[in-house]
Structure 1
Amino acid sequence: MSFEMKATFLVVSTGMFILGVLGNGFMGLVNCIEWFRTGKVSSADFILTSLALTRIIQLLVILLDSFIMVLAPHLYTTDIINLLQIILSILIIVQCVLGTSANGFIALVNCIDWVKKHKISYADRILTALAVSRISLLWTIVFHCYGTVLHPAIYSSDVKTTVNITWVVSNHFSLWLATSLSILYLLKIGNFSSLLFLHLKWRAERVVLMILRGTLVFLVFHLAVVSTDEEMKMNEYKGNITWESKWRDIAHLSNVITVMLANFIPFTMSLTAVLLLIIYMWKHLKKMQLSGKGSHDPSTEVHIRAMQTVISFLLLFVIYFFTQIISFWNFSTMQNNSVLWLCQVLGTLYPSRNSFILIWGNKKLRQAFLSFLRQLRCWLKERK
């Protein structure tokens, strides 16, 4: 690994660590301050604070491992590498189980509510589809990581192509459904004087639907590029080797550019929507405080909770975006298994932990989760 690649990797790793600590520290600090102020804490807030603390510890371990791997690779003996892989594999499995549970809970609550009321809101439809796509994405990441690092023998070209296509589809819907949800929240909650914003606000659901339909064209193009790249890799050289090599390079470069765009476009749109929403809620919160409404006012608490949710979502999205870029870059160039493991661990943070944030920020999901915890507590007491 060259000096420039080492420096880039360390800078990005440090940046993601700082962002993760800021986001999780903010959530934990707010809940702890509220705990000391009121003398009580809800079960949901306690779980979220515990998750924030474990994420900070996890990010610290990953950062230390990154610095040792780059600056002191001689310390990495076979036993240490095996131990590291076991620890990281356990972290990946735990995050996937937690993410599957949280996303399954979101989908189940919305489906039950749909069956009971015979109707479902547009935001809940997106949340349900997002939960299903994230479950698929999490286990695709697990299978890809284990097939690439632990069992490369079973990771044949056909299996790799199937996994790549599954990842492209699940990642596409995970990113674009989250982006659509951010845009929908911005249009529903935000209120700016711009005529264009007001025009889009009146047609919020139609705008989101058009975005989702439009991205299907890009998904078809992305699948075609991935299939072509994998087919070029599997085909043996025939005829003019120079031309074959050039076509393979063109197909691979097209795949790299497409992956970058597939992550960068929704990331940019989500970033813009979330930042605008934060600006609006911050101004609105200041107005409410100036009008004499304290921090314990119900409407003020709702806005504070919403700000915590969107800020946490934004930070996790930033971490996920950079881990995807580094992971793909590493897989295409360095083939460093340690880097790949670290990226996979960080990559599972977004689809798994963000689901808990969505549960915490959504009134219906939060009440259903608290009801489940109460029933679980009663069941455990009866067992004793």
Structure 2
Amino acid sequence: MNSVIQNIFGIILNVEFVIGILGNGFIALVNCVDWVKRRKISLVDQILTGLALSRIGVLWSNIMYLLIPALYPGLMINGNMVRIIYNPWMVTNHFSLWLATSLSIFYFLKIANFSHSLFLYLRWRVSIVISVTLLVSLVLLFLNIVLTNTEIDVWNSGYKGNLSYSSSLSNVAHLFNLLLIINTMFMLPPFIVSLMTFLLLIFSLWKHLKRMQHNARGPRDASTTAHVKALQTVIAFLLLYAVYFLSHFVQVWMCIEGSLILSFIWAIRTAFPSGHSFVLILGNSKLRQVSQSVLWWLRCRSKDVEPVGP
């Protein structure tokens, strides 16, 4: 029974991987083609393209993270192999989270409506705000890399000093759990920033609706529609992000190793880089129009190809 359930989770992971590659690849391809045609690319398209490419990296890193220890467990007692597997996932995951956070900041600054001078200053310099945010994230990435590789070096030196120390795979799993604790701590800042932008967007929408009621205007003007669309995108992102973050927290807290629960955790964890791509496509008018055109073309092609009778 357990093997059947694990096979089901394996199928789900494969489907999520394919969907994620297609969705994120579509975002990157559309924006790159548009960039070549127009000879320029907007800030939001830059963020979306970088986010899509980082998500593709996350998905491939997930595959390496899962397959190499499963197929070649003996290699995992080498600290350098642990470094090769973990570092690409850590870097791509970092950029995936911070670029998504930058997108939330962009929506907040462009759509929210506050009269405070600081907010107006940041709105007119949104590109600088995004650049500074990513630069600060690079500092956090550097610290994460240093702490992670220091932990691997300590573990590796213990392995060289005492062969019995790391000869079993349980010690390797313990190392990965320590690395996961470090990475989970560095995942918290982008989640807090995204949550703050969400709460400020709600507050901005509340103030806008209150102002409109006072002026006896309709409840659905352009600003309200923009607020609602931005909130829908940010809410979907936060829900997926919360599930993603909690999956790491649960794995660290319960120290899960090689169980059905771990397979389930990986299935819901992969849903974040895969499912969020389609949220972005639906929330972006250009991507949504292109996707509708592609679906219409595929539908016409399927109708043109008629089955040949006997």
- Give TM-score, length-normalised by structure 2: 0.84
Deviations 1:40-77 (A, max 9, x none): xxxxxxxxxxxxxxxxxxxxxxxxxxxxxxxxxxxxxx
How far is the alpha carbon of 1:234 from its aligned partner?
Answer: 2.4
How far is the alpha carbon of 1:145 from its aligned partner?
Answer: 2.4
Matching of residues 128-147 of structure 1 within 5 Å: 128-147=49-68
Partner of 2:169: none
CA distance in 2, matches of 1:165, 1:149: 18
How far is the alpha carbon of 1:324 from its aligned partner?
Answer: 2.0
What is the number of equivalent residue pairs in this alignment?
292
How far is the alpha carbon of 1:335 from its aligned partner?
Answer: 2.2
Structure 1: gaps spanning 5 or more residues:
1-79, 240-250
Which one of the candidate residues 179, 185, 190 is aligned to 1:266? 190
Cα contact 2:27–2:281 (8 A) shared by 1:
yes
CA distance in 2, matches of 1:153, 1:293: 67
Higher relative contact order at CA 8 Å, sep ≥6: structure 1 or structure 2? 2
Partner of 1:277: 201
**CA 1:311–1:334 in structure 2 vs 1: closer, same or farther (change >3 Å)?**
closer
Q: Which amino acid aligns with 2:187?
A: N
How far is the alpha carbon of 1:268 from its aligned partner?
Answer: 0.6
For the pair 1:152 / 2:73, whether they are aligned, the reply is yes
**CA 1:138–1:282 in structure 2 vs 1: closer, same or farther (change >3 Å)?**
farther
**CA 1:373–1:284 in structure 2 vs 1: closer, same or farther (change >3 Å)?**
farther
Cα contact 1:281–1:307 (8 A) shared by 2:
no
Structure 2: gaps spanning 5 or more residues:
163-174
How far is the alpha carbon of 1:292 from its aligned partner?
Answer: 4.8
How far is the alpha carbon of 1:287 from its aligned partner?
Answer: 5.5
Which one of the candidate residues 239, 245, 264 is aligned to 1:321? 245
Which one of the candidate residues 70, 81, 102 is aligned to 1:180? 102
Matching of residues 229-378 of structure 1 within 5 Å: 229-235=151-157, 236=159, 238=161, 255=179, 258-284=182-208, 291-293=216-218, 301-330=225-254, 333-378=255-300
How far is the alpha carbon of 1:356 from its aligned partner?
Answer: 0.4
Partner of 1:67: none
Q: Which amino acid aligns with 1:214?
A: V
RMSD: 2.7
CA distance in 2, matches of 1:348, 1:138: 7
Partner of 1:94: 15
Which one of the candidate residues 105, 123, 138 is aligned to 2:44? 123
Partner of 1:39: none
Which one of the candidate residues 69, 79, 83 is aligned to 2:4? 83
CA distance in 2, matches of 1:300, 1:199: 22
Partner of 2:172: none
Cα contact 1:327–1:344 (8 A) shared by 2:
no
